[in-house]
Amino acid sequence: MQTWIYVAIAVVGFLMGLMFKVPFVIACSVLLTVAIAAFAVAGDWPLLSTFGTIAASLFALQASYLLGVTASFACHRMRVMKISRPAAEPQDVSSGDVTALRVRTAIKRSNSGDQRRT
C-alpha cells in the first residue's frame, strides 16, 4: 500500500480518538481488516504481504487512536482545572485586622478541600 493511505488511516484514528469510544475502534478495525482482505483477494496479493498490510494498517489506526484519546483527555483536564480554579477575590485589609483575614482564608481553604496550614 502507498504511504498516503497509512497517513489517512492515522488521521482517521486520531479523530476517532478525539470523539469515539473503544467499541467504535474495534468495529472500524474489523471493517478495515475485511476491506484489506477483500482488496488482497481481488488483487492476488501474496499472503505474507496481505498480513503485513493488515498489521501495519491496524497499528496506524490503533496507535493514532490512542494518541487522540490522550489529546482529548489532556484538553478535557485543562478545561476542568481552569473551571474549578476560583478567581482570586480581592481582600479588604484596610481595617488592619490581619487575624480576621487569616480566619477567612482558612475557612475558604477548608471549604475548597485545601488542607494546607497558614
pLDDT in tens, 23-72: 899 999 999 999 999 999 999 999 999 999 999 999 999 999 999 999 98
pTM: 0.64
Cβ proximity of 22 and 66 under 8 Å: no
Do 49 and 2 touch, CB atoms closer than 8 A? no
CA 33/CA 14 separation, integer angstroms: 18
**pLDDT on residue 57:** 95
Which tens digits make up the pLDDT trace of 89-117? 555 555 556 666 666 677 777 766 555 55
Cell of residue 105, nine digits: 482564608
Residue with cell 486520531: 14
